[in-house]
Structure 1
Amino acid sequence: MEAVPARARTYVAGVAVAALLCLLPLPQLRTGWGAVALLAAVYAGCDRLARSRLAGISYPAGTFYPVLLAAAFLLPAPAAALVAVPGALLSRVEQRPFLLRRVWRAAQLVLGVWVAARVHRALGGPGAVGAGDMPYALGPAAVAVLAFCLVLALLDGGIRATAERVPVRRAWRGLLPRSLAPVAVHGLAGLMIAVLWRSPYGPVAALLVLLPMCVSWWAFAQYHRERAAHQATIRALVQAVDIKDGYTRGHSERVGHASMMIARELGMDDERIEVIRFAGILHDVGKLGVPTRILTKDGPLTPDERRVIELHPEYGHEMVRGISFLGEARAAVLHHHERLDGTGYPYGLAGGQIPESARVVAVADAFDAMTSTRSYRRARPVAAALAELQKCAGRQFDPRMVTALVRALGRYGWRPAVTSDDARTPGVPPPAPPFPSRPEARR
């Protein structure tokens, strides 16, 4: 997202101004600046280490929320908010614009910590923390953590609506529930840091609480390395298909993109949208089992050749069924050429017998087939392809999926990122791919 929309820049500027207002009382505060400096250094150092190239992966921004929440439990609101600033401004950013992303992150954390600290103080939390009265300290801390999550969720929804153009009715969906459980655990660790900090054991003992977080960090790294290995396997399979069938190069990525648009329009949650995208990317991987002479044949296919190529969904399913995290994507690979009227292949399923993921991919596949140039015909305009899909809805395609694609394209247009030669093809925008199988395109 290098080209940030003007409204998103305005939104970030507004949040930054609000964060600065939270920090204005700092010169009048009488607080332990040594504690502020130590907590800020710990947060910045841990965050920097987590995002360094030594880690080998990119960690989420909330890896060291316990330090920020401990600051909210220990310090006045402006001082607690200041703890987040050095780490956020010095953090390693992978995408442009770097400065804007750092400012956004710093402003977001300042507001979240400031609100959490104010809520905690209003409920008498500092007194309970100072007395080490754990049962009573839990209540104000829990409400402060909830306020922290709520602020971050509200701000994240705003950036999704302004920068990522997510519809307003869906921009905030699921943000708070997804973040509440992990941040609650971070809040408990932050409360333990705060109580130990105020105890006779002091700051050094308090910071030892971070050791379990380092263990969870390591486990998180292992998970992401495994996931990265899976995704590398998927990329290798897709590249193999692209090399084997040059006419459909880039098609798999575009089908994945269109499938994701449909799934998002249907209101699926983010995890399922990702699985549907994988389904679209891998739907034609079974073509690796089809002879190249058939895939690249310019003339009409003979009945025998058609029967061979119609085996590719089963070949593909055999290839991906051992990849456990794909979930329902495996069913989509197997059934994306089934038709609603039962005349599809490989098993002739009809209506609701066809998995929902397969019905999504079928529409995305056919759409990209029609809007991509092939050896036997030119690409159709997007409007003509959508009209054809609507004409076949109810017989070949699920009308819900067709309607969802029409709405999504009306809102966002068709501009997938492309990674292949299709960037030169009329009707196919540069980088990202989907594609239908050859018999479907010929039909």
Structure 2
Amino acid sequence: MKSLSHSLRLYVGTVSLLGGGIVLLALSHLPTYDLGGYAFFVLLSMLIEAAAIRWQSPKGRVVSASSALTYAVLIIYGPLPAGLVNAVKGLVGALYPERRSWHRAIFDAALLAISGTVAGLSYLLLYGLLGQSSRILVFLAAIGAGLTDYFITATGTAIAVALYRSTSALKAWVENFDLIPTPYLLLAVLGIIIALGYGEFGLLGLALFFFPIFLARYIFKSYIDKTHRQVELLRAANAALDMANQELIETLAAIIDARDIFTYGHSIRVTDYALAVAKEMGLPEEEREMIRKAGLLHDIGKVGISERILTKKGILTQDERHILEQHPVLGEEILGRVKDMIELAEIVGSHHERYNGKGYPCGHKGQEIPLAGRILGVADALDAMLSDRPYRPAMSLLQALVEIQRNAGMQFDPYVVEALLRVAEKAEADFFKNSTRTTEAASIQQADDHPQTTFFRPKSVSVASHK
């Protein structure tokens, strides 16, 4: 109890002493007139607890089926025997199947001893007030006992949670327990049925009653265990399939890039830049995974474009440019044939759209363009600027970023551009790359000579300047 506060230690100690006193009192007042039957109830309660035959409440609290035996015992034998049964089942539940700390186990058992005894007293009180003329009234008295058991257990636990978390008991109660404890009401009714059955048929009737329950539990557990094994196998198969799909996507990206020596590795770099921007914008993992796939496959449509056009070392003619601008359409058509890649296809088809609506192939603008497409558009343009081309050398990082910032709101989404600038400020020098080398900040001296043209100094540029 070293980690517990003084107030929580005092509370746990008080409950434990009170519960322990009830257990000792119950042991001195065992129902000797039917000791065998009572021992059977105790043993059965322990078996049910150990077998983990339980329900779960809407708020996730676990309710043991052995509570039905507690309610049967309080009807048959009275409050103290019920408190002892409750304590024993609490101790078993605290030690098996998951062992709790010793002070938690003692506290749980003591609290249940208190709740079971008080529930028995409430049954006697209600039974006396309502009278014995009708079995319906007996049912009501038992339901009242079940509610008493629940609210004492819930309140006692809520106080402990509140002391542990330094919060209010009411808040802890509301967060962890239900106002209407449906499982306890059903267990109270089941307890009455067990008590009536035991009164009519004795131990044989009790055994016949619980044998189907244990059998059903065994069959159900076997089914669940088998299902869990199948689920694990499916998970392993899905993981292998995901890995195969990933390798296939990366292979396709390499094939696409290999068609042009000047764009080799382009898809990987675009993906890296796009993922960094997406992370900076706080996009969830699922969206970033979609961007990763789209980045690797964004130029897949180029498989349908003539290699003569892709590798031409001069300015493209108008007809050649029109053909080249069809690659987003071809990419969307290729990926769109796969049912699970419809969203991915839409992103690939939109990565050359412009924020002002003057892009291609559809002329979409602003929010009409998927966010992933807007991010890829910026990443694609950045890598194109940073890489050598047959008709021009690569730009420096600073030149490329200034150019992208100048086109924010026109070609590029300004929010995506802002995220890119934040990435650049924090990135290491080797994050932004040319085809075969780390991008050199060739214009650092120019930036120093003309500070009015420098919007910011990225960390990647600053680091390079000091090496």
Which residue matches 1:108? none
Which residue matches 1:373? 388
Shift of 1:312: 0.5
CA-to-partner distance for each residue in 1:186-234, whole Å, 9 max, x for gaps? xxxxxxxxxxxxxx99xx9999664332111012123223323322331
Residue 75 (str. 1) matches residue 99 (str. 2): yes
CA contact (8 A) 1:264 1:273 kept: yes
Shift of 1:377: 2.1
Aligned-pair Cα RMSD in Å: 4.0
Residue 227 (str. 1) matches residue 251 (str. 2): no
Which of 311, 335, 339 pairs up with 1:296?
311
Aligned partners of 1:412, 1:70: CA distance in 2, in Å?
51
Residue 422 (str. 1) matches residue 446 (str. 2): no
Shift of 1:371: 1.3
Is the partner of 1:74 in helix, strand or coil? coil
Aligned partners of 2:94, 2:238: CA distance in 1, in Å?
27
Which residue matches 1:110? none
Higher relative contact order (CA closer than 8 Å, sequence separation 6+): 1
Identity of aligned residues (%): 35
Aligned length: 257
Aligned partners of 2:110, 2:241: CA distance in 1, in Å?
41
* Residues 76 and 284 of structure 1, relative CA distance in 2, 3 Å threshold: same
* Residues 121 and 327 of structure 1, relative CA distance in 2, 3 Å threshold: farther
Unaligned runs of 5+ in 1: 1-17, 19-68, 79-117, 148-199, 429-443
* Residues 364 and 352 of structure 1, relative CA distance in 2, 3 Å threshold: same
* Residues 350 and 302 of structure 1, relative CA distance in 2, 3 Å threshold: same
CA contact (8 A) 1:372 1:427 kept: no
Aligned partners of 1:425, 1:267: CA distance in 2, in Å?
27
Which of 325, 332, 336 pairs up with 2:351?
336
Within 5 Å, give how 1:41-440 maps onto structure 2: 74-77=98-101, 210-326=225-341, 328-413=343-428, 415-416=430-431, 422-424=435-437, 426-427=439-440
* Residues 389 and 222 of structure 1, relative CA distance in 2, 3 Å threshold: same
Shift of 1:363: 0.5
CA-to-partner distance for each residue in 1:34-82, whole Å, 9 max, x for gaps? xxxxxxxxxxxxxxxxxxxxxxxxxxxxxxxxxxx9988532449xxxx
User: TM-score, with normalisation over the residues of structure 2?
Assistant: 0.48
Task: Say which one has the larger Rg.
Answer: 2
Unaligned runs of 5+ in 2: 4-92, 117-148, 162-213, 442-467
Shift of 1:238: 0.8
CA contact (8 A) 2:94 2:108 kept: no
Question: Which residue identity does 2:228 align to in structure 1?
Answer: M
Shift of 1:237: 1.6
CA contact (8 A) 2:95 2:105 kept: no
Question: Which residue identity does 1:385 align to in structure 2?
Answer: A
CA-to-partner distance for each residue in 1:392-435, whole Å, 9 max, x for gaps? 001110001100111122223464598xx93336449xxxxxxx
Shift of 1:331: 1.5
